[in-house]
Structure 1
Amino acid sequence: MAVEPLFATRAQRAFMFTVCFQAIVVLAMVGITFRMVEDNVNFDTPRYKTLPCYLALFALAEIFELLLAFDALRLRNIIQLLGILLFHLALMIFAALQVHQTRTALVTLPHCDGRDDFVSCGGPGTLWKRVEPFLIVAPCVIAASWLMILFWIKQLYGEFGWAIFHVVGANPKMKTMYQWYQIMICLLKFDFFAFTGVTMQLLIVVLQINSAEFGVTIAAIPVVLVLLMLCGIAVQREIKWIMSISLVMMLAAMSYSNEIPARQQVLYKLVRFYQPSSRDQYETTRATLTVFTVVAFLLLFATFAVGLRCFADFDRGLQASKVNALPTRPKITTGASQNMTESQLSYLGGAPVAHRISIE
C-alpha cells in the first residue's frame, strides 16, 4: 500500500474546493462592504480606516489559507491540516469582531435614522444598516465551511496516516520526532502570518507614512521573513549554529514585540491600546489589534518551546527523513508481492503476499 497522489481522492478534492469556495464568498462580502463604504466616506479619516484594514487582512488571510491548504495536501501533513482548522476558527472570530468594529467606526449617532444622517446614524435607512447584512454573512459562511472542513479532515486523517510511516518507518520514537518537526514548520508559517497581520494593521491604521517608525516597520518585514526561512532550513537540515541564533532571536523578539518606542519608556503595546493618552488612535481597530498581538506573542512563545524540543532531536537519525521526504507520493499499486518494492517488502518483514481474490 502507498499514499494516494495529490488530488486523487474525493476527500482531497472536496477539502480544497471547500476552502476555495468559502474564500471567494467571504472576499466578495468584504469587497461589497468596502465599496459601499468607500462611496460615502473618506478613508483618509482615521476612524474609517478599519474597513481597508479589514479588506487587506482578509485578502491576506484567504490567500494564506489557500496556500497552506494546498501545501498540507501536497506534503500529506496532518499537523498542518489541524492548524488550518484552528486558523479557520480564528478567521470566524475575526469576522465576528469586525461587525462590532465597523459599527464603532460608522455609527456615532445611534439614536437617529438615515433621514437625519445617512453615514453617522445607526437606524433604518443608514449606511450601517446597508452593510450590516454583508458583514454578518462572512462569519456565517466561515462557520459553515469550518464544519465541512472538519468532516473532510477526518477523512484525510485516515488517508494520510500512511505518509509518516512511509517517511520514517514503524519506529515510534522516530514518528514522534517527525511530528514535532512538522509542528515546528507549521508554527513558523503561522508566525509569519501573525507578524504580517499586526504589521499591516499598524501601517494602515496607526502609523504615519513620514514617521521613522513607519520605515522601521516596513524594513522589518523582509528581515523577519528571512529569519523564519533560515529557522525552517536549520530545523530541517539540523544546522545547530543557525538554529541557536534563531532561538536567541525569538527570545529577543518576544522582549521587543511587546515594547513601544523608547521615548515612552518600557510599556507594553497592549497597555498602549487602552491607556487614555493613545486609546483614541486605536479606537476602531483595538479589538483585532489586541487579538493579533496576543496570538502573535503566544505563537512565538510556542515556536520557541517547540524549537527547543526539535533542537534536542538533532543528530538522532531523523535528518535523512526530513530532507528526503518526497512531496509527491507513489500511486497505489496492485498485484502480488513480486510487483512490490524492496522497502515495502521490508515493512512486511519480507513475507510474500498472496494474490487478492475478488468476488464478482
Structure 2
Amino acid sequence: MIRLLAIAGLAVNASLATFAFANDATTIHVASTFPMSMPLFSEATGRLSEQVDSLTNGEVKLVFHVPGDLASASGTMEKVSSGEIAAAWSTAGQLANHDSAFELLSSIPFGPGTVEYMAWLFEGGGLTLSRALFASHGIYNVPCLVLPPEGAGWFSKEIRSVDDLKGLRVRFFGLGGRVLARLGAQVVEKPPGDIMDAIKNGEIEAAEYSLPSMDLTLGLQNVAKYYYFPGWHQPSTLYELYFGDATWRKLTSKQQETIETVCAAAMRDGIGEAEAMQMNALQEIKRRGIKLRRWSPDLLLTFEAAWSAVASDEMGTNPRFKEIYESYEQFHNRYGFWKRFSYLH
C-alpha cells in the first residue's frame, strides 16, 4: 500500500513558510485544498511523496497536510503566493479572485478532454502561458494530475428546462458556475468538506464536486436523488503542485527535475486509474437508487451558448484571459482537423 505522508493536527510555525531541515534533508510542507482521503488524490499524493523521497535519496521530502492544517481549503493558494507556506496541492482556479484567467488553467467548459488538454499544455504553448501567469503571483506550478469528465451535479429534482435553474441555490466551481449564474442560478462556492452540511442545512439545493468515485466517497448520493451527465463544465481538470518561488529556487536543478519527472509519471498513472475507477463507482451509485440523467440536447445547447457569452465578456475585459483562451482555441481548431479524420468518435 502506498504510504501517505499526510499529517493532521501538526503544530504550525514559521519554519513551514519555507523549509524544515533535518539531517540535511529538505522537507517541504504542502497544504492540500482537497481531503486526503479522496480516491485518486490519495494515490497521487502518496506516490508523489514516496517517489520524490526515493529518487532524491531522502534529500527532498514532500509532506502533505490536510485542509485546515496549514491553511483553509480555499486559502492554500493565497498563502503560497504570499510566502506564508512553502507549497500547495490544488488547482489553478483557486486564484480566480485575483485573475479569471486562472480558471482556464483548471478546466474549460465545452473544452478539451484529457488528451487534448495535455497536448495543448505541453506542446501547444499552454504551459508557457500558465507559468508566466503564476510567476506574476510568486508561484512555480508543476502539472501532476489530469482527470476525465466530472459528473455535472447532484439535484433534488429533475432539471427539464432552463426555468428549473432560475433561483436554484447550487454549489458549482469555476467557469461552469459563471454559466449557471448567467442562466439565473444562485451559485455558491464551497470547499468539498463543507458541501454535505450546506445541503443538509438547506443553504444549497444542489451541488457538483468531481468524478463519480469522489462524489460517492463524499456521500452526495445520501443527500440528492438525481445525478446529471455529461460534465460539460469540466471535460477534464488539471491539478498541480504549487511552490512558492523562494522554495522552488532553493532546490537544486536535479531536485527540481526529479519533482517534474515524478509529477509527469503521476499524470500518466492517474489517467488510467481515473478512467478505470468510475465504472464501479457509477454502478454503486445506481445500485443505491440514484436516478442517472443526461442533459437534454436543448439544455446542452443553452449551456454552451451561455458559456460563449461568459468567455466573450471575459476576453473583453481581461487581456490575460483572452491570450490564454485564444491560445487554446487556435490549438483546438488545428487539433480538430486531425481528430475528425483520425478518431472514430
**Structure whose CA Rg is larger:** 1
| Higher relative helix content | 1
Q: TM-score, normalised by structure 2?
A: 0.26
| Higher relative strand content | 2
